[in-house]
Structure 1
């Protein structure tokens, strides 16, 4: 989509969001310049007037067909770890980035159990499974829109095209005598009665939170029916009746079971040969090169039914355009200055107005962050207005890379 079409589409959206107000109360698209962040990556900001007030929109337009342009997972180095978007973007050499999935931000229901900081949804890093989704009742971020699940993701396939989809974990522990199903991978909450695997990518945070709550109630008590097995180089090394803590060495896998899963793991004794296997099965026939948890707003250019049309907040969203060849990354202001943010229904209409075929939202509120690389200093610069002026540490995001740095801003 060229710049004139983007401007026209946003102006039409401005008018559509203001149907509850007199026509003279609408505010047209402002004349802010388009900045060329890198070849194939452009940024602009504009203001929309809605029925509840003005909102500043920050938009990254990404041409995935452009030589050297790609998107990947912004990642702090461990699942149970967080960092500011700008810090991760600089570490990874990204030319631009936005925050990602909702995450386990607080833990006030279970005294003595630390918050892990891990994302709620599934994620894929460089084509390999990083983590699976928690049960829907355990996720953070409020109620899911009708039809969405905690397994919904957005990412880019190995064919270089962006898409939405779902990632479902399939895993097992195999011994000479039995095969045990695995229903968790590097996640802060396991399904009731399940076995979950933790790898070196989990980090050093305690695994105790994984056996707390239920599939439908995050605040339910932690179970005491727990068994943990440490497997190193294909053999059981040790067992424990409590979840462990500390880093997991490369070549080591920890299997943690709760309730029925704990009973099943008790059959594995030190020295037993065990093969652990897992994969994230996608609803797309094309595997994901990277993916992260994201909740659909738009399908086949139509907003999904039942989207919240009342609560306006700072939002982060991603749109897929041109049959997966282009991305639109959006961050909206809100809570600070005069900006009001957008409702989910408004966010879906914004994505549609920008020519998106599909769209999804990720974490918002104080997590909403969009950065671009300064062409002079090379530093990641936050472009949106942050909640209380502070960058929140987040567990992941979407990073944009380009073959070479931009040679300046466009107009």
Structure 2
């Protein structure tokens, strides 16, 4: 009997040690932050939930320093938004991007739309996006368009995207030296362009995520030149060699483009990697043998949006997740749709002015963009301080 009693006591002690700890805070009217600790894995999970019906809450991807070029912490992106008068409730890191060892550090890889403005078409077509109807979607966003002049119609395949790097160890596809299409660059593109083409002066600046613009060829564009800072000027470069029809353009030009899958204006968009959930079903992972890493995910159902992070690469704190683990977590939280965005050392959860996770670098990483959740209303006081993670370990 005594042995049985001690056995039960030991079991309760083990359960207490391995018990999940969950704490939640109301961080805005219509937004809740939850911290989940699962020591038996271990997992450190952070969940930001937003009611979709709250029209005063806006979810937007914010480019680093409002530019195609550059890197920025989630913290400073939130601080910049606060200066415009909006109240930042929370945020997470955003898209995949070229890191600091690449010539084009900070260039996102996915279709990037912020505040209704298209910054780059990217080269990854997978995306999380919200269109003008306010409905969140996960799927592909394929940029497409045409350049028309003197009876010629040339496919337009890229917008502010060119991935070559003289210093990088590898070139990221697609190879824009092949094929027969055009790429459009606006004054937002800050790097030299390694292809020749033409400069075009438009009657009105490019805006939004689709439409039609007219203008005239104003000059030759030589390889390794840059776009001027004039928003009326764009550069068109052709691929497939010097014989590209772009190089022969002259006179009046009409340019039209948009996203194939979404005919209405896109309000915000960022690139995603794997689709994890579709109609409540867990999808087979693209990389079933992928290692565990820190992760950032976006999910939703009919009522809520979810922004979720899981720490990783920290022994004894959180080991990170595989794709299937992410899908199971999103389903457990109540999502019917879900995808993962950039993770690893980029994974950051920002809530009411605090970093509430432990990035694997030991500090927040500067990223190409962030997803910020904001409102124009005053934020209510927290009923108690947020539980912040322990400080960075000191090296012995």
* Same fold (TM > 0.5): yes
Aligned residues: 337
- The structure 2 residue matched to 1:369, chosen from 343, 348, 357, is 348
- The 5 Å alignment of 1:168-183 reads 168-183=142-157
- The 5 Å alignment of 1:176-325 reads 176-189=150-163, 191=176, 192-193=178-179, 194-202=181-189, 204-208=190-194, 226-233=195-202, 234-245=215-226, 248-260=229-241, 263-269=244-250, 272-282=251-261, 287-295=265-273, 296-307=275-286, 308=288, 310-322=290-302, 325=303
Alpha carbons of structure 1 residues 340 and 262: separation in structure 2 relative to 1, 3 Å: farther
1:281 CA displacement: 2.2
Aligned partner of 2:126 in structure 1 is 152
Aligned partner of 2:21 in structure 1 is 30
Alpha carbons of structure 1 residues 300 and 261: separation in structure 2 relative to 1, 3 Å: farther
- The structure 2 residue matched to 1:101, chosen from 87, 95, 101, is 95
- The structure 2 residue matched to 1:58, chosen from 13, 38, 46, is 46
1:249 CA displacement: 2.1
Alpha carbons of structure 1 residues 82 and 397: separation in structure 2 relative to 1, 3 Å: same
SS in 2 for 1:386: coil
Mapped pair 1:74 → 2:62: yes
**Preserved contact between residue 35 and residue 45 of structure 2 (Cα < 8 Å):** yes
1:400 CA displacement: 0.6
**Preserved contact between residue 104 and residue 188 of structure 1 (Cα < 8 Å):** no
- The structure 2 residue matched to 1:163, chosen from 128, 137, 147, is 137
Using structure 2 for the length normalisation, give the TM-score. 0.78
Distance 1:65 1:303 in 2: 26
User: For the pair shown, which has the larger CA radius of gyration, 1 or 2?
Assistant: 2
SS in 1 for 2:154: strand
Using structure 1 for the length normalisation, give the TM-score. 0.75
1:116 CA displacement: 3.8
Alpha-carbon RMSD: 2.4
Alpha carbons of structure 1 residues 273 and 243: separation in structure 2 relative to 1, 3 Å: farther
| Structure 1: gaps (5+ residues) | 1-22, 109-113, 135-149, 209-225, 374-379
- The structure 2 residue matched to 1:92, chosen from 58, 81, 87, is 81
**Preserved contact between residue 111 and residue 270 of structure 2 (Cα < 8 Å):** yes
